[in-house]
């Protein structure tokens, strides 16, 4: 692994750890200050905004790929400003659609108390104003990503995420816990994050400070971004549908119970997404598909060695962490679904590499078609699973979809055998602790046995390392030790 790749990965991971830590800290305060039902409502609204972020029309990834391929600063500036205009328009249109969808779901589908119904109606207009800021942020992020300026990108994103997470809490503490006031705090927090990203983009190049709209780039960007958007629509729908189905079939309280472990576990995608961001420009700049597939093999190997112990560690600490974080009463309800979600994280993490390959190489139609196949299978399975097994059924359906996603994307990349080989290598570490957590939580020496599984995983991963990988790790440790001395 080159030093530049390592620096990029380190910057991305460090940039994601700060917002993750803030989320862990503020969530109990949210629950205490605004209550479980308001927290469930906010969780659903954040889900909707995250899903409708696809109204950037794929321009974030389009700009990242274009900037990575073209070193001319004037052209890079044209990509940036054209993307900002188009994504801003898409975000404004999405906000209108989002408002109508939100009113329908909260008025007709979700079960909320009469007290909150009035608050929701008043808050939605403000919350939907966040959507254009989300789509604009995507293009600003893509510009910095394409330039491989991961340090600046992660400083801006970390600060913006902290503002977005803490501003509503501060407003609730200082003014009111009613949803309209919390929405104002969220809007101000998101606005601050956009200004930070914009400032770093302007500082990265003097050419970027001059607005340049390139009409000739609109059609190619729409064509490239169209498939990216299509894949984003279907993927985000599948990633968020579980909580909407739980809210419709069960209650917003069940959404909150499911969201607690899900929101923690999904933060662990910081690792694969950081690696995705680092390799995305390399995939885009690869001379041919063979070189790109070589990067895929390398990237997947790194993920296997990193994600396997992270998944096992998450399974080991899941229950004690939730006990400490939200209390034993809520934890007992959340752990079964959380266990399945944590195990499924491994499958989901491995999908990031082929996705980066296809989107960076301008073949976003491939994941879009794969997601269409998954959607047809996932939706009926999800409804049946939630109806029969509640939040545990939703988690099981999510795991199945993540496994299928990886299988299809690696097969489409011509590396299907690589996916199953990596899974076979990971299973000896993943299976023991998963079985303990699902079926033997009440046995004596439960925690010591799980810790033994974690030790075994560390030993097993060391055994998986080949000679070159062991040499590289030893050299990295020695280099760091010498630099400290």
pLDDT value at 182 more than 60 = yes
> pLDDT-derived band of residue 448, with 50, 70 and 90 as boundaries?
confident
CB atoms within 10 A of CB 417: 10
> pLDDT-derived band of residue 14, with 50, 70 and 90 as boundaries?
low
Give the pLDDT of residue 312.
86
Spatial contact of 139 and 83, defined as CB atoms under 8 Å apart: yes
- Give the mean model confidence (pLDDT) for residues 378-392: 89
Give the pLDDT of residue 276.
86
* Per-residue pLDDT tens digits for 91-126: 888 888 878 877 787 777 666 667 777 777 777 777
Q: Provide the Cα torsion 140, 146, 147, 153; round to 10°.
A: 50
* Per-residue pLDDT tens digits for 295-334: 999 899 888 888 888 888 888 888 888 888 778 888 888 8
- Where are the alpha helices (H) located in 361-466, listed in sequence order? 365-412, 416-439, 446-464
Distance between CA atoms of residues 193 and 324, nearest Å: 31
> pLDDT-derived band of residue 140, with 50, 70 and 90 as boundaries?
very high
> Over the Cα atoms of the chain, what is R_g?
22
- Give the mean model confidence (pLDDT) for residues 251-269: 81
Better-scored residue on pLDDT, 483 or 4 = 4
DSSP 211: -
pLDDT value at 235 more than 70 = yes
> pLDDT-derived band of residue 403, with 50, 70 and 90 as boundaries?
very high
pLDDT value at 397 more than 90 = yes
> pLDDT-derived band of residue 350, with 50, 70 and 90 as boundaries?
very high
- Where are the alpha helices (H) located in 250-363, listed in sequence order? 252-267, 270-285, 289-326, 328-350, 352-360
Give the pLDDT of residue 373.
93
pLDDT value at 459 more than 60 = yes
Give the pLDDT of residue 47.
67
Nearest to 305 by CA among 419, 417, 424, 426: 426
Most confident range, picked from 59-63, 220-224, 419-423, 461-465: 419-423
* Per-residue pLDDT tens digits for 161-176: 888 888 888 888 888 8
Sequence-separated contacts (24+) of 419-425 with Cβ below 8 Å: 419/300, 419/350, 422/300, 422/301, 422/304, 422/350, 423/347, 425/304, 425/308, 425/464
Q: What is the pTM of this model?
A: 0.70
- Give the mean model confidence (pLDDT) for residues 286-298: 88
Residue 340, CA distances (Å) to 223, 257, 262, 336, 376 in order: 38, 14, 10, 7, 22
> pLDDT-derived band of residue 427, with 50, 70 and 90 as boundaries?
confident
* Per-residue pLDDT tens digits for 15-29: 667 767 777 788 788
Give the pLDDT of residue 7.
63
> pLDDT-derived band of residue 404, with 50, 70 and 90 as boundaries?
very high
């Amino acid at each position: 692994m080159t030093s530049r790749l390592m620096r990029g990965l380190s910057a991305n991971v460090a940039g994601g750890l700060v917002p993750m830590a803030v989320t862990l800290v503020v969530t109990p305060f949210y629950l205490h200050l605004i209550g479980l039902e308001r927290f469930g409502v906010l969780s659903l609204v954040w889900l909707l905004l995250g899903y409708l972020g696809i109204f950037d029309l794929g321009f974030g990834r389009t700009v990242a790929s274009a900037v990575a391929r073209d070193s001319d600063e004037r052209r890079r500036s044209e990509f940036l400003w054209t993307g900002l205009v188009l994504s801003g328009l898409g975000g404004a249109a999405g906000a209108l659609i989002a408002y109508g969808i939100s009113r329908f779901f909260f008025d007709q589908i979700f079960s909320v108390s009469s007290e909150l119904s009035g608050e929701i109606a008043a808050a939605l207009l403000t919350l939907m104003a966040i959507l254009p800021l989300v789509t604009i942020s995507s293009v600003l992020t893509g510009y910095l990503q394409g330039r491989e300026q991961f340090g600046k990108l992660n400083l801006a994103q970390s600060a913006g995420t902290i503002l977005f997470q803490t501003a509503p809490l501060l407003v609730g503490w200082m003014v009111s816990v009613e949803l309209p006031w919390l929405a104002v705090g969220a809007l101000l927090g998101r606005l601050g994050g956009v200004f930070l990203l914009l400032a770093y983009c302007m500082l990265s190049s003097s050419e970027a400070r001059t607005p340049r709209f390139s009409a000739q780039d609109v059609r190619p960007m729409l064509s490239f971004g169209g498939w990216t958007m299509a894949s984003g629509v279907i993927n985000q729908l599948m990633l968020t549908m579980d909580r909407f189905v739980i809210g419709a079939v069960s209650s917003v309280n069940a959404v909150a119970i499911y969201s607690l472990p899900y929101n923690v576990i999904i933060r662990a995608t910081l690792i694969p997404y950081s690696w995705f961001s680092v390799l995305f420009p390399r995939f885009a700049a690869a001379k041919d598909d063979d070189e790109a597939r070589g990067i895929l093999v390398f990237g997947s190997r790194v993920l296997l060695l990193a994600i396997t112990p992270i998944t096992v560690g998450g399974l080991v600490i899941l229950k004690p962490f939730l006990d400490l974080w939200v209390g034993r009463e809520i934890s007992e309800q959340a752990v079964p679904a959380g266990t399945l979600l944590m195990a499924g994280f491994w499958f989901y993490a491995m999908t990031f590499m082929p996705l980066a390959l296809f989107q960076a190489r301008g073949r976003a139609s491939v994941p879009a078609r794969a997601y269409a196949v998954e959607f047809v299978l996932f939706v009926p399975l999800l409804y049946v699973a939630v109806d029969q097994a509640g939040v545990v059924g939703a988690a099981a359906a999510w795991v199945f979809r993540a496994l299928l996603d990886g299988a299809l994307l690696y097969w489409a990349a011509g590396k299907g055998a690589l996916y199953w080989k990596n899974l076979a290598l990971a299973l000896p570490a993943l299976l023991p602790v998963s079985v303990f957590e699902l079926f033997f939580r009440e046995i004596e020496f439960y925690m010591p046995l799980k810790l033994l599984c974690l030790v075994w995983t560390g030993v097993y991963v060391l055994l998986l390392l080949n000679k070159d990988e062991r040499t590289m790790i030893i050299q990295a440790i020695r280099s760091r030790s010498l630099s400290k001395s």
